Structure 1
Amino acid sequence: MWHIVFVVYAATVFHSKIMVSIANVTMVVPTLFTIWIGIKADQTQAKKKWIIITGFVQAIIFTFLAFIINEPSLLAFSFICLFNMLSDMLSDFSNGLRMPIIQKYIRQEDLIEAYSFTQFISYVCNFSGQALGIWLLTVSKQNFSLVALINALSFLLSALVVLLIKDNVNYDVLANGKKQSLKEQFSALYHNVMLIFNEASTADFSRLLLSILCLNMLAGSLNAIYNIWLLTAKIGHLSYSQALLLIEFILVGGILIGSLTPHDYFSKKSVRELLKINAVIFFLVGLSNLIHLPLIFGVLLLAFASYLVGKVNPKINSLLLSKLPANTLAQTNNFLSFLFTLSLPVGTVLFSSLSSWNITFTWLTFLIVAVIIFRFSTPSKTINTD
């Protein structure tokens, strides 16, 4: 809820593109610290206590923001940016603390189903939270303090719920006392990720990881491509805004349906197989748009591709929890998240630039990257990746 409200605050209070850009950047900055945060989460022993403390601290942060956010000054804006980044990092830390607890209390055979449902809830909460934030601003006539207080209340309630049930959760992970250098830590992270995907060959693993990053890049670039392409192209008789809404609905709806079907045919496929199928679908998307078939063909293919994308993250998360020790879960998860997050702006910038220049070359490049994904997701020798 808060992120979109923060952007609206920067845009309406200061009427400055620079302020909006700064607000956008502050949402990305916590990603740079995510690996370090994961390491600290794994090293934290009293996990239940710190989950509760984190919730209370975030409640205090947003209560403080509620008192300063109506001050239209650069100093107030600077504090808001700082505390917004701090809150995001605390959320990352809290998520890392929960992972070993999830590992203990959810059976291995139920992990994919659990993470599929978690992904579904995350998407629903994200979009409903944004809608709630905008609605609150509308009915309160841009009362940003009210939204900040409601956000503080949500963190407070979350912490209180955990406080009430903490005695039912008997779990605190002892941190590994061995000190490691930065090089050793990254080497261990790389080994952990290889273990997740059951890769014995470093070369095969590097190709697999690159194919996942490229797939993430393509998936993340679709909105950027269609935002520009639909200025001149048409989907039936839909207006520009209606067409954009349809694309957003297709992309998110496909992921939600994929999340809600954790036991279907495609859920039983390995990560490599899902990558190859997705690569073929993205290839067909690029080809259909390249040869100027009606846009609806590409849109329908995107629906299926999004459905498959909804299968990948829960499978990776379940592999992570089933194959790694508890004291390495958060840092390994955050390491993967860091890599995946970095691939998103690369895809957005690349394909936004290409779309502004030449849409034909854009879809040709999209098609070529899909071929690379298919090629790199094919092992040089037969390896079990389930």
Structure 2
Amino acid sequence: MKLFFTNKVYHFLTVSRFLNTIGSSLYNIVFVIYAATVFHSKIMVGVANVTMVIPTLFTILVGIKADQTQFKKKWIVITGFTQTAIFTSLAFIISKHCLLAFSFICLFNILSDMLSDFSNGLRMPIIQKYVNKKDLIEAYSFTQFISYICNFSGQALGIWLLTISQHNFALVAIINALSFMLSALVILIIKDDADYDSLSSDNELSFKEQFSNLYHNVMLIFNETNSADFIHLLLAILCLNMLSGSLNAIYNIWLLSAKIGHLSYSQALLLIEFILVGGILIGSLTPHDYFSQKSIRQLLKISAVIFFLVGLSNLIHFPLIIGILLLAFASYLVGKVNPKINSQLLSNLPANTLAQTNSFLTFLFTLSLPVGTVLFSSLSSWNITSTWITFLALAVAVFKLSASTKTVAD
């Protein structure tokens, strides 16, 4: 957190990202509520949910475009003002309760989320240039902290605004537009301080060649020269994502029959959510502690052991509080992994490949989450014992895949 107050460029970039991310998070929940309350249709809510996932499919292409874009600060500002225009237009459209209006709202939501990804990709080379290499883990730990805060506070703010305005969706759209405009204006403050060198585009590579370059870039991030070891490491991270991402789904179903003390079902779910998010936030805010000094492989092994103990505790019916305490520690460790990966990305790659490589990793990690959710939701609905046995097996797989004859540099 010290870096946020001492590095002027990082400070304003983070404030800009905060305003942009909270704008995106705010309207995502409002969009779902709009579909549910205006049309009273599960199909429309389903369409809204799918709409919010669609930008993920384009994340790699958006990252490549961000890397090829010259004058990055200028385009961050243009992107912010474009999002402002989108949500100002949306404020006029959203009062029309018809399918055509809903279609435009879906389109605008997709465009805005893609522009947010584009803007975040543009920020990466600037952070690389103005943040010392030794401070990169701290920088991305705090960025991860800000992202989680935005996701939850943005949703809470959206619901609160709808409540006090009696579901005035147009008002929320205007407030959203203001958040994007402020995000762009903050970047203008550092325009003269951060004279970032523009990069030339390289449009001659085929998609196959670009994908091959992405693969080798990711190998560089993890300091891997052996392709087999690299694939094992990547699979370990994907499996760990599946484990951590599936916990909400498991507990949502398991707590229908299991009890945490005298807590009601909703209170128990809130406690689990608090533990999962709180652990990650604490992990993000402690970038210089003992575990932050560990390599990615070491963090994966320790996380695998803790997740194994979580599964074992629940399988043999220890008091739920034991599993929850272990879960808190596991979440804390998970909060260390992504900042470590991002810091190595900025340390090991040239500026003109940062956004596309980060987008490629984000795409892979994002896809692993629904796989874990579907798998463990299905198992939990069928048999909770089989669920925890599978959970244990996956934790063992993470541990084995993390092993290597080569020591990865911290």
TM band (smaller chain) = over 0.9
1:96-137 CA-partner distances (Å, limit 9, x unpaired): 111000000000000001111111111112211111111110
The DSSP-based 3-state class of the residue aligned with 1:321 is helix
Separation (CA, whole Å) in 1 of partners of 2:170 and 2:259: 41
Q: Say yes or no: does 1:317 pair with 2:322.
A: no
Separation (CA, whole Å) in 2 of partners of 1:383 and 1:176: 36
Match of 1:128 in 2: 153
Match of 1:228 in 2: 253
Which deviates further from its counterpart, 276-285 or 153-162? 153-162
Match of 1:148 in 2: 173
Letter matched to residue 277 of structure 2: V
Q: Structure 2 matches for 1:205-216, cutoff 5 A? A: 205-216=230-241
Residue from 48, 54, 64 that aligns with 2:79: 54
Letter matched to residue 220 of structure 1: G
Match of 2:18 in 1: none
Separation (CA, whole Å) in 2 of partners of 1:309 and 1:222: 13
Contact 2:69/2:201 (8 A) holds in 1: no
Q: Structure 2 matches for 1:323-362, cutoff 5 A? A: 323-362=348-387
Contact 2:296/2:408 (8 A) holds in 1: no
Contact 1:173/1:326 (8 A) holds in 2: no
Q: Say yes or no: does 1:36 pair with 2:61.
A: yes
Letter matched to residue 305 of structure 1: A
Residue from 264, 267, 271 that aligns with 1:239: 264
The DSSP-based 3-state class of the residue aligned with 1:289 is helix
Structure 1, unpaired ranges of 5+: none
Q: Say yes or no: does 1:384 pair with 2:405.
A: no
Displacement of 1:176 in angstroms is 4.5
Which deviates further from its counterpart, 65-74 or 327-336? 65-74
Contact 2:252/2:269 (8 A) holds in 1: yes
Displacement of 1:35 in angstroms is 0.4
The DSSP-based 3-state class of the residue aligned with 1:311 is helix
Q: Say yes or no: does 1:167 pair with 2:192.
A: yes
Structure 2, unpaired ranges of 5+: 1-25
Q: Say yes or no: does 1:157 pair with 2:157.
A: no
Match of 2:121 in 1: 96
Matched length = 385
Displacement of 1:178 in angstroms is 6.1
Match of 1:118 in 2: 143
Letter matched to residue 296 of structure 2: V
Contact 1:11/1:19 (8 A) holds in 2: yes
Contact 2:305/2:395 (8 A) holds in 1: yes
Q: Say yes or no: does 1:181 pair with 2:210.
A: no
Which deviates further from its counterpart, 169-178 or 352-361? 169-178
Residue from 162, 185, 190 that aligns with 1:137: 162
Deviating above 3 A after TM superposition, structure 1's stretches of 4 or more consecutive aligned residues are: none
**Is the alpha carbon distance of 1:48 and 1:362 closer, same or farther for their aligned partners in structure 2, counting shifts above 3 Å?**
same
Structure 1-normalised TM-score?
0.98
Q: Say yes or no: does 1:80 pair with 2:105.
A: yes
1:304-357 CA-partner distances (Å, limit 9, x unpaired): 000001100110000000000000000000000000000000001110011001
Displacement of 1:49 in angstroms is 1.1
Match of 1:268 in 2: 293
1:131-151 CA-partner distances (Å, limit 9, x unpaired): 111111000000111111000
